Amino acid sequence: MRTQAILTALAGAVLVCVSAQAANLKQEAQQLDRAKVSVTDAIREAERQGNGRATEATFHSSTHGAGDYVVKVLSSDDRKLMSYRIDAGTGHIVSAGNEPVEKVFTHLKPEQIDSAQTSLAHAIASAEKQAGGHATYAAVEAHGDHLVYDVKLAKDDGSMSRIKVDSSTGHLASAQ
């Protein structure tokens, strides 16, 4: 009897968590719909400022304002990793800072990123077009000697999907 009550309470708690997560994803998707600056535009601005290639981009929703993007850019000389926070309403860089380059190179080699045929911005655009929704997170990952972009999409219905984009072709490698 007690075990059944615990399982029922646990199932209720899981349902509340899943509902809250769906509501958060729906809110993020709606906020991204209203954003004046897309994630790909934010990446281009960060890459221009950092004179390099983006390795990661994340959207952060806000209860006030349009939210912001955090974009990490590896400099073209592979010596500097910059993190840029960009306002999703204006496209202006709100803050910038250095990060340890070693954060990127624990699993990746600089020459892999430099030689990738597909950029992070292109991978995001491809994932959004093919699967629908708005990217809330994207990053480059190493799978052996091959790079894949991992893109998380929030959809208007509150669901989320994760898309892998091949860095050499720009085509979808898998979807969840």
Distance from C-alpha of 12 to C-alpha of 89, rounded to nearest angstrom: 38
Per the document, the length of the chain is 176
- The pLDDT value recorded for residue 7 is 45
Q: Say what the pLDDT of residue 35 is.
A: 74
Both tokens of 15, joined, read 């349902």
**What six digits make up the tokens of 18?**
């899943």
Ordered mean pLDDT values, 10 residues apiece, the chain (176 residues): 52 44 60 80 95 92 84 90 93 92 70 86 93 92 87 89 92 80
Compute the Cα dihedral for 84, 90, 26, 164 and give only its sign: negative
Output the pLDDT for position 47.
95
**pTM of the full predicted structure?**
0.75
If we measure between CA atoms, which residue out of 94, 89, 99, 79 comes closest to residue 41? 89
For residue 99, which amino acid is it? E
Which pLDDT value is given to residue 91? 92
Question: Cβ distance 164 to 152 under 8 Å?
Answer: no
Task: Tell me what pLDDT residue 27 has.
Answer: 66
pLDDT at 45: 96
pLDDT of residue 54: 93
Residue ranges of domains in the chain, CATH in brackets: 31-175 (3.10.450.40)
Q: Where are the alpha helices (DSSP H) in 51-163?
A: 110-115, 120-131
| Secondary structure tally for the chain: helices H, strands E | 4, 8
What confidence score (pLDDT) does residue 142 get? 86
